[in-house]
Amino acid sequence: MIKLNALDVDGTLVDANNVVSPANERAVKKAISRGMKVVLATGRHRGGAKKVMEVLGLCPETLLIANNGALIYSGNQLLWKDFLTPDDVDGVIRGDVIYK
């Protein structure tokens, strides 16, 4: 039995017009009603994912992986923060540091 589903937002849950399709909304709500945990993963910031969470009926404590994985939230609680340092950024620009 699948217990957790991590879902991408842009191009997966929402279309180019930032709309959650009725089929996606039904599928996510059905999964939640069957006890599945849903996590959203997105390049967006937390505020940019708020509407999607509301449409899908996700509780405020739903885990949200935001900012391309740099921030992880559970509701208003920040669980993880991992930003590049200025030295890391300089290394990427110079080509000395490669992130995969």
CB 81 within 8 A of CB 71: yes
Q: Which of 8, 15, 87, 90 is catalytic?
A: 8
Beta bridge partners of 74: 63, 77
Pick the closest to residue 76 from 53, 46, 54, 52 (CA basis). 46
Q: Is 8 a catalytic residue?
A: yes
CB 31 within 8 A of CB 5: yes
52: region left, alpha or beta (phi > 0 left; psi from -120 to 50 alpha): alpha
Q: Which residues are the active-site residues?
A: 8
